[in-house]
A and B are shown apart, each in its own frame.
Chain A
Amino acid sequence: MSEAGTLPDEIRALIGRESPPVTVVVDTEQIRRFADAIGDPNPLYYDEDYARSKGFRSIIAPPTFLTTIGRWPWQRRDETLFRIPYGRVAIHGEQEYEWFRPVQAGDVITMTSRIVDIYEKAGRTGRMLFVVTESRYVNHFGELVAIARSTGIRR
């Protein structure tokens, strides 16, 4: 769907740009707060004894908890890296996760993100820019936890 030639070079040049890794210590309260915010009462997200009885090191995080990593101002090392001079509003178009193992309280998770595609399309309200970002999450054992692909739409 890419239409080569219509995108300014400075935007196309962002494809392949990678952010510095963000490392986060996941604690029980972050997980519980997130599970409570989405209204999911699964005891694996709240009850440490129950989660241990099921073979986990501590409580585990709901699958989409990974979205919390890298969002906080002190975790972003360079705001300008993924800044894209296009449109006045950015909305979330698509999101995909592939999960390999659960995130557990006590895990130290490192996220690395990369812009994998940028393309422009004509929509009902004018031209829109699609930005696809891939993030990889690795725990402190060096195990791949999940891969995420996110498509943002700017118009």
Chain B
Amino acid sequence: MVEPKLLEIKPGYEIPALTKGPITRVQLAKYAGASGDFNPIHLDDEIATQSGVGPTVIAHGMLSMAFVAQMLTDWVGPTNLRRLGVRFTAMVRPGDVLTCRGRVEQVRTEGGKTQADCEVWIDNQRGERVLTGRAVVDLPRH
């Protein structure tokens, strides 16, 4: 499939989807070690259960945000992501497969610079929405 040039992007355009996972406990351990987020609800089933998020550990919300950011940077490049705001709407657990998707809602040109406002989301393998959000990207001239 040939992707349209970024400057030809119109409202309704669907950002190429990105599927991540299945999420493993090893990935959660790696993410804890790389990010410094050692909250035990991501690493220890017993503590996760005692804390009310059990029966297993849950993934770091910021890991899901990193996935949706990757979908956007795969599309426009890392330096063209201007803004991303997300809400974590359901818990992610080991074994989950996450599919990141997004859609362009509006394209704006101001002062010679073109930006797209996008809606983004992540669904798990059961079709449950685990993250919703909005993003702004620069659409560079190619």
Contacts and interface: CB of A to CB of B under 8 A. Distances in A.
A20 to B, nearest CB: 18
A36 B61 contact: no
Given A40-B70, A89-B53, A95-B65, A33 B78 contact: no
**Residue of A60, A63, A149 with most chain B CB atoms under a 10 A cut-off:** A63
A72 B30 CA distance: 15
A39 B24 CA distance: 12
Contacts of B74: 42
Given A34-B35, A93-B88, A62 B61 contact: no
Nearest to A45: B78
Q: Give the size category of A's interface with B.
A: 35 or more
A128 to B, nearest CB: 12
Interface in A1-60: 30, 33-34, 36-40, 42, 44-45, 60
A92 interface: yes
Interface in B62-99: 62-63, 65-67, 69-70, 73-74, 78-79, 81-88
Contact of A38 (B51, B67, B81, B84): B67
Given A34-B35, A63-B73, A96 B83 contact: yes
17 contacts: A34-B35, A37-B34, A38-B31, A42-B73, A42-B78, A62-B78, A63-B69, A63-B73, A64-B69, A68-B36, A89-B53, A92-B61, A94-B85, A95-B61, A95-B85, A96-B83, A102-B79
Interface of A: 30, 33-34, 36-40, 42, 44-45, 60, 62-64, 67-68, 71-72, 88-89, 91-99, 101-102, 125, 149, 155
